[in-house]
Amino acid sequence: MKLTLPFYLHKAGAGFPSPATDYIEEDIDLNIHLIKNTPATFIIRVQGKSMSNVGIYDGDLLIVDKSIKPKNFSTVIANVHDELVVKSFIKERSLQFLSSGSQNFEDRIIINEDSNVFIWGVVTYVIHSKY
């Protein structure tokens, strides 16, 4: 599905307002700018507040790419015992685990050969509404 919106040539300043109606450059296709690998990309809605300390809130939309390998501290969607969760991927020495980013060590989910946990994809964009 192609979604195009007006794209303004003028950048939004953080200082004094400037009318930008005369600066429309073209329509922009959000798929081109937000999705790098279409067959491996999906959108999922966040439910819960465990990731709010890293700027991900209840109701946010996450754009997730299943083809990206997670790096240390990547935000990921993981399958934990057949339930999808959003967490931070952490690698310390030989240990890999998922965390909500809090200092609470009890929320850590260890990833190893014996656990029923695997990374489903890496979050590339977070979309949240101000309203």
Q: Which residues participate in catalysis according to the annotation?
A: 50, 87
Tokens representing 89?
């991927």
